[in-house]
């Protein structure tokens, strides 16, 4: 593993499009070169006093000229400095198709999470209650389009890890009631931050995470023990015929993740060949 790491040092990556092959291979980030160095031999930040004084005098003269020009253009009156007004306070209730306010987001999730749903479901880390995924402004009904008084509704989505069900509850923000509930299997919306962190925790604790931990140790000199030490991106993984070991055949019905971890203030680590099944809480390596 260590030999693979050193062979790949120096390759660059933009975003999460990791361009190296192999599992848990560190991708080096371009380090600052001689930017800011003084070609004359003077250290950066220690320019010659004469040059600094000349530059300061030129800047002062330019500023004075600009002030005189401004006063001439305004009949001798000094131009007042610009003022940036503070953003208006956000109301508790939006209007029409305005984005949901923070208050509406919080209230919609509380209304949608009924006592029954809380007791009968399970989150990504095994606690009681479904895993929150998101809250979005619901589309208006066909006969409500364009009406300024159309009800504002929010679609609140949860993932129930107890039986791998996507739960969507529509909340009428005016009445404070749930007006519709839908459940789906095999539907995998984008991952939440909590799910990516849980996937990283499972990978760190698994023997297949040894390469990631070795790369982190090489880059930082410290042991990798927590997802908090990484910047995490990830994508849902769906099973494809012949593309994975049998343990991952249920991905798509199960909630499965491919992680793209980055060492904080350091390189990306290529972990694309590893898949974390959050539903089964297992880690596996893709065959190809």
Residue 286 has pLDDT above 80, yes or no: yes
Residue-wise pLDDT tens digits, 87-98: 555 567 788 788
Which secondary structure element, helix H or strand E, spans residue 69, and what is its range? Answer: helix 49-73
**CA angle 31–34–36, rounded 5-degree value:** 115
* Residue 149 pLDDT: 78
**Mean pLDDT, the chain, integer:** 78
Can you tell me the mean pLDDT for 19-35?
39
Query: Model confidence at 86, in pLDDT bands (50, 70, 90)?
Result: low
* Bridge partners for 150 per DSSP: none
* Residue 158 pLDDT: 98
Query: Model confidence at 283, in pLDDT bands (50, 70, 90)?
Result: very high
Cβ-count burial 154-171 (b if 16+ within 10 Å, e if not): bbbbbbbbeebbbbbbbb
* Residue 183 pLDDT: 97
* Residue 271 pLDDT: 94
235 within 8 A of 258, measured Cβ to Cβ = yes
CA contacts within 13 A on the Cβ side of 63: 6
| Tokens 């790369």, located at residue | 215
44 within 8 A of 37, measured Cβ to Cβ = yes
**188 to 79, 214, 253, 255, 275: CA distances (angstroms):** 57, 32, 8, 7, 15
pTM: 0.68
**Burial level of 127, CB count in 10 A (0-12/13-18/19+)?**
exposed
Can you tell me the mean pLDDT for 3-32?
38
More confident: 224 or 96: 224
* Bridge partners for 157 per DSSP: 134, 168
Residue-wise pLDDT tens digits, 231-279: 999 999 999 887 889 999 999 999 999 999 999 999 999 999 999 999 9
Query: Among 42-46, 68-72, 192-196, 225-229, which stretch is predicted with the lowest mean pLDDT?
Result: 42-46
Q: Indicate the SS3 state at residue 177.
A: strand
> Quick one: CA dihedral 216, 217, 220, 223, positive or negative?
positive
Percent of the chain with pLDDT over 70: 68
């Amino acid at each position: 593993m260590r030999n693979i790491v050193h062979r790949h040092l120096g390759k660059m990556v933009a975003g999460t499009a990791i361009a190296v092959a192999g599992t848990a291979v560190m991708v080096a980030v371009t380090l600052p070169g001689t930017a800011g160095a003084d070609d004359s031999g003077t250290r950066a930040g220690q320019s010659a006093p004469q040059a600094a004084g000349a530059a300061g005098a030129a800047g002062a003269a330019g500023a004075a000229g600009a002030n005189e020009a401004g006063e001439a253009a305004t009949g001798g009156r000094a131009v007042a400095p610009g003022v940036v007004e503070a953003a208006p306070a956000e109301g508790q209730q939006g209007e029409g198709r305005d984005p949901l306010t923070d208050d509406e987001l919080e209230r919609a999730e509380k209304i949608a999470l009924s006592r029954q749903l809380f007791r009968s479901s399970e989150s990504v880390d095994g606690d009681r209650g479904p895993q929150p995924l998101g809250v979005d402004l619901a589309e208006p009904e066909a006969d409500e389009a364009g009406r300024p008084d159309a009800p504002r509704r929010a679609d609140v989505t949860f993932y129930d890890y107890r039986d791998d069900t996507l739960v969507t509850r529509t909340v009428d923000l005016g009445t404070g009631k749930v007006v519709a509930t839908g459940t789906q299997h095999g539907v995998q919306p984008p991952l939440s931050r909590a799910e990516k962190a849980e996937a990283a925790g499972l990978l760190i604790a698994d023997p297949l995470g040894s390469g990631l931990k070795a790369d982190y140790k090489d880059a930082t000199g410290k042991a990798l023990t927590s997802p908090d030490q990484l910047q995490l991106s990830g994508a849902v993984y769906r099973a494809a015929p012949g593309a994975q070991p049998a343990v991952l055949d249920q991905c798509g019905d199960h909630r499965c993740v491919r992680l793209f971890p980055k060492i904080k203030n350091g390189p990306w680590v290529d972990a694309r060949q590893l898949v974390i099944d959050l539903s089964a809480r297992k880690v596996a390596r893709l065959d190809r």
